[in-house]
Structures are given as C-alpha cells and as structure tokens.
Amino acid sequence: MTTETATQILHATHSALCKHGYAELTMQDIADETDLCKASIHYHYDGKHDLLVAYLDHLYEQFEDRIAEPAGETPAERLRGLVVALVTDRSDAPAFQTALLEIKAQSPYDDAFRSRLQRFDHAFTAAVREVVAEGVADGTFHEEVDPDAVASFLTTYVNGAQTRHAAVGHPLDDSAAAVDAYIDEALRADQAASTGGGPSSETANVGGTE
C-alpha cells in the first residue's frame, strides 16, 4: 500500500467515524469517503476493528507531534497550549468527541483499544508534567506545586470535559475557560502575587470561569 493510499484511508476513517459513530460504522461507510472500493480497503485491513486500531495509531502520531512542542513562550502558555487545545471546541466536535467516547467505552472489552488509549493517557500526563516542572523551576508556578499531581489532575479533567461534552452537551469552551482559570489562579506564582490581598484572594476561584 502506498503512503498516499494509507493516508487516504485513515482520513476517510476519521470522516466516516464523525458521520456514523463507531458502533454503526461499516467498511462501506469508509469506502464511501474515498475513491477506493470496499474490496481494496479490505485488501489492506482485515476489517473495521483492524482499521480503527491503525486509525488510533495514526491519531497518536499526530498527537505526539503536537504535544512534543506545545505552542507558547512561557511554561504557563505552553501548559495552556497543551490542555486547552484538547478541550477547546474543534470544528468536528461533538461528532469526533462522540466517536472518541464510544472507543473509550469499548476499551474495557478490547485490549488493542485499551493499550492505545493508555498510550495517549501516559503521553499526555508526561507532557503536562514536564511543562509544569519547567514552570516550577523558572518560578512561573509556585514552588510547592507537585508536577505529578497536577499532571494527573489535569488529565482527569480533560477526560471529564470530553465526556461531559459528548454525553450531556456541556460546552467545551466553558471547560476550557475553567482550566485556564485553574492555571492562572492555582498554579501561577506571578498571577497570584499580582492579585494581592489576603490569603483568601490568592486561592480564590480556583477552577473558576469568571
């Protein structure tokens, strides 16, 4: 299979997944998004499951590239770049978030999906940990901030933002604003200092969206 064909099939998988969801997705739906026939997709991939695993690997490669160099000049901006990007409304939400949630829900029954999702989870946690540690080292974040704890906390929060969006329609932009406020108000040493006042104002509105 040429790289071009592989890319075409994986892009078609993304489009078909957003249109039909995971449960109802057929190889024909995927073929319909390409100029290939179903048989030629079957020639390369055993079936829907095989193709979805390849799609998750493809998604991971893109994800890895993106989180390797989060945009932003300061650790606070890079942390925002990492976390908010995953939560911010994308053009294909909620369809993509819905498909992602279906794949997560399959994960307990499917070791291939599970190991892929664990790879995302570990990579994201590690990337957040690294940028939080940088921020602690350069004084952007409070020196007592624990990069491991914050990384796990934010990974859990991002999962929640995605699930809540797909399951009950909670706006991704609201979740993004809340995590933005958490970074500013709970982690940033410079920000907290500038708000002045007593101890209460320094820890106020943690996780808030005001």
Residue 83 binds to a second copy (criterion: CB under 8 A): no
For a second copy, the binding residue among 13, 34, 140, 155 (CB under 8 A) is: 155
The nearer residue to a second copy, 137 or 167, going by C-beta atoms, is 167
**Separation CA 38–CA 30 (nearest Å):** 8
Residue 135 binds to a second copy (criterion: CB under 8 A): no
Tell me, residue by residue from 24 to 63, as one string, x for binding to a second copy by CB under 8 A and - for no binding: ----------------------------------------
Choose among 125, 96, 20, 6: nearest CA to 55.
Answer: 6
Q: Would you state the torsion angle of the CA atoms of residues 84, 88, 92, 97, taken in this order, to the nearest 10 degrees?
A: 70
List all residues 6 or more positions away from 177 whose beta carbon is below 8 Å from its beta carbon.
209
Choose among 124, 120, 122: nearest CA to 56.
Answer: 120
The secondary structure of 100-152 as a DSSP string is HHHHHHHGGG-HHHHHHHHHHHHHHHHHHHHHHHHHHHTTSB-TT--HHHHHH
The nearer residue to a second copy, 74 or 209, going by C-beta atoms, is 209
The least CB distance from residue 209 to a second copy, in Å, is 5
Among the listed ranges 30-38, 54-62, 68-76, 165-173, the one in contact with a second copy (CB under 8 A) is 165-173
Residue numbers of the site for a second copy (CB under 8 A)? Answer: 21, 23, 94, 98, 101-102, 104-105, 107-109, 114, 117-118, 121, 142-146, 148-150, 152-164, 166-170, 174-175, 178, 181-182, 185-187, 189, 192-193, 199-210
